[in-house]
Amino acid sequence: MTASGGQKMWGGRFERAPDASFYEFERSWQFDRRLLPHELALDRAWARAIAAAGILTHEESQRIVAALDDIELRAESDAAWLDSSKAEDVHHFAETALIEKLGPLGAKLHTGRSRNEMVATEFRMYVRDAVRDMRTAVASLLRAVGDQAKNNLGVPMPGTTHMQHAQPLLLSHWLLAHGEAFQRDAERFRLVSERADYCPLGSGALSGSAFPIDRNALARDLGFTRITANSLDAVSDRDFALEMLFAMATLAMHLSRLAEDLILFASTEFAFVELPDEYSTGSSLMPQKKNPDSWELIRGKTGRIYGSLFTLFTVNKGLPSSYQRDLQEDKEPLFAAIDQLKPMTQIAAAALTVTKFRHERLREAAQDPALVATEVADYLVAQGIPFREAHEIVGKVLRAAEQAGKSIREMPIAELRKFSPLFGPELSTVLALESALARRSVAGGTAPGAVRAALGDFDARLAKIEENP
C-alpha cells in the first residue's frame, strides 16, 4: 500500500512517497468522484477503441468492459466503498478497482492515453448532462410562468419605469416578460451543450495519442458529435465550463429579478400577491409576519453563482499552453453552482405556481389616472397637435387637476377645454383603462389580443424544451 492506498499511477521515478498532508492537498477524489459514471463510460469506450487499434484482443476488451460494468454496479450500491477510498482522483479510483479485479489485464487499459484528456472529456460529458438537468428545471419554471399568465389573463396592473407609475400593463404581460428571460436561458443552455460537444479523447497528454485510435468512432461511442481539432488546445480548454457558468449566472440573475419583483409585490404597500404558506416563513418574534424567504434566498444565493464564474475565469487566466494542475480547480466551482442553482430554479417554479395574485388590488392600482396621461396626449395628437405640444398641455392639465384635488377622469370637460378646445366628450373613452391597454396591440405589446398571441408562441417554444431538454 502506498500513501494513495492502492496501485500508484505515476510513482516509478520517485524514491519517496508523497507527504501525507500534501497528498490530501493535491487529491481530487473527494469531489471528482461525481464524474465516476463518465469515467467508467469513457473507460469502456477506450477499451473498445484500443482493441480496434490492435492493442487489446477482442476478448481482453470484453473482459475489461464486463469488469467496468461490475465496478459501476458496486459503486451504485456501496457508498462506503467510495467514501473510504484513498484514491488520488476518479481516474485513479477506476484504474485501481479494475486492476484489483483483473490484475495485469486491468493495467493495460491506460495504454496510449492521459488523464489530461480524460478529465477534459469527462468534464464535457458532465456539463452536457448538467445542461439537461438545468433545462428540465427551467422548463418547470417556464411552465409555472405560462400557467400563471394563462390563469390571470385580463387582469391589469400598473406598469412602472424608475419605479414610478408609467402605463398600465396586463399582469400576464409582466409574467411573460420574466418568461422571455427564462426562454433565453433555456436556449443559452442548449448552445452551451452544443459547444461542449467536441471529444478531446485521442489528444494524449498534450501532443496526441501515439496509437492509431479512431477518434471519430470513439467520440460517437461516447455520444459526442465531433472531435476537437488540436490536442494541445484540447487538454487545456475549459471554455465550455465557463460558458456553462455564464449561462448559470445569467439564469441566477433573472431569478433574482423575479424574486425582487415578487418581494416588493408581497409587501403591504403593494399587496399585489399573497405569499404561499408552503414557501414562506414566519418570524420568531412578530406573530403577524409572513416572510418571502424563498425569494430572498434565491436573490441572495445569486452571488455564489457569480462567484463560481469568476473563480473559473481566474483559474484560467495566465495559464501557459497545455495542461496545468491549476485546471483541477475547474470542477468544484461548477459543481457548487449546479448544487445551488438547480434547487433555486425548482423552488422558484414551485413557489410561483402556488402564488396568488390579488386581482382586486391590482385592478385598483391600475386605475390610477396618471397611468393614462400618455393616452390624453395621444388623443390630442390624433386631432393634429404636435406631440411635444400635446405633452405640454397634458402636463398642465395634470397639474391643475392635482391642485384641484381631482383625478383627470373627474375634470369636467368645460374645465379641460380651457387648456385645449380640442377636448371632446370621447375623452372619457380614451381615459378608460381598457382602451389604454387595447391600443397596445402591436406584436409584443400588452393588449389582450397581443398577449394571447404571445402566450401561444410561448407555449410552443416551451413544448420544444420539454420534449428535448
Q: Which of 293, 258, 263 is nearest to 279 (CA)?
A: 293
From the candidates 283, 321, 428, 435, give the one annotated as an active-site residue. Answer: 283
Provide the 8-state DSSP code for 170: E
CB of 27 to ligand ARG, least distance (A): 8
For the CB of residue 332, give the shortest distance to ligand ARG in the complex, in Å.
10
89 scored as a contact of ligand ARG (CB under 6 A)? yes
Residues in the chain: 469
- Tally of CB atoms within 10 A around 289: 11
Contact track, ligand ARG, 356-395, x by CB under 6 A = ----------------------------------------
Question: Which lies closer to ligand ARG via its Cβ, residue 9 or residue 381?
Answer: 9
Q: What is the DSSP string of 249-310?
A: HHHHHHHHHHHHHHHHHTSTTT--EE--GGG-B--SS-TT--B-HHHHHHHHHHHHHHHHHH
Cα 350 from chain centroid (whole Å): 16
What minimum distance in Å lies between the beta carbon of 114 and ligand ARG? 7
Q: Is 117 in the site for ligand ARG (CB under 6 A)?
A: no
**C-beta of residue 396 within 8 angstroms of C-beta of residue 389:** no
Site string for ligand ARG, 30-49 (x = CB under 6 A): --x-----------------
> How is residue 127 written as a grid cell?
456539463
Residue 235 engages ligand ARG in binding (rule: CB under 6 A): no
Q: Does 119 bind ligand ARG (CB under 6 A)?
A: yes
Query: Looking at beta carbons only, is 118 or 251 nearer to ligand ARG?
Result: 118
**CB half-sphere exposure, 306, CA atoms < 13 A:** 9
Is the four-CA dihedral 360, 363, 369, 371 of positive or negative sign? positive
**Beta-ladder partners of 168:** 158
Stretch that binds ligand ARG, among 112-120, 149-157, 380-388, 435-443 (CB under 6 A): 112-120
Phi, psi dihedral angles at 237 (to 5 degrees): -75, 125
For the CB of residue 19, give the shortest distance to ligand ARG in the complex, in Å.
Answer: 17
Q: Shortest distance, CB of residue 91 to ligand ARG, whole angstroms?
A: 6
Tell me whether residue 165 is one of the annotated catalytic residues. no
Q: Identify which range of 114-122, 171-179, 226-234, 384-392 contacts ligand ARG by CB under 6 A.
A: 114-122
Q: Report the residue number, 89 or 375, with the smaller CB distance to ligand ARG.
A: 89
Cell representation of residue 414:
368645460
| 162 is a catalytic site residue | yes
What's the closest the beta carbon of residue 318 comes to ligand ARG, in angstroms? 17
What track of x and - describes contact with ligand ARG for positions 403 through 432 (by CB under 6 A)?
A: ------------------------------
> Which residues lie closer than 8 Å to 467 by C-beta, 6 or more apart?
none
H or E segment to which residue 161 belongs:
strand 156-161
Residue 166 or 205: the one with the smaller Cβ distance to ligand ARG is: 205
- 204 or 448, CB closer to ligand ARG? 204
What does 403-452 look like in DSSP terms, one character per residue? Answer: HTT--GGGS-HHHHHTT-TT--TTHHHHTSHHHHHHH--STTSSSHHHHH
Using CB under 6 A as the binding rule, the residues of this chain from 14 to 33 that contact ligand ARG are: 28, 32
Instruction: Compute the least distance from the CB of residue 22 to ligand ARG, in Å.
Output: 14
**Residue 178 touching ligand ARG (CB under 6 A):** no
Which candidate in 21, 77, 162, 284 is catalytic? 162
Q: Three-class SS of residue 7?
A: coil
Binding mask 293-332 for ligand ARG (x = CB under 6 A): ------------------------------x-x-xx----
| 3-state secondary structure labels for all residues of 308-373 | HHHHHHHHHCCCCCCCCHHHHHHHHHHHHHHHHHHHHHHHHHHHHHCCEECHHHHHHHHCCHHHHH
In whole angstroms, the minimum distance from the beta carbon of 93 to ligand ARG comes to 11
Q: What residues make contact with ligand ARG under the rule CB under 6 A?
A: 28, 32, 89, 115-116, 119, 323, 325, 327-328
Catalytic residues: 162, 283
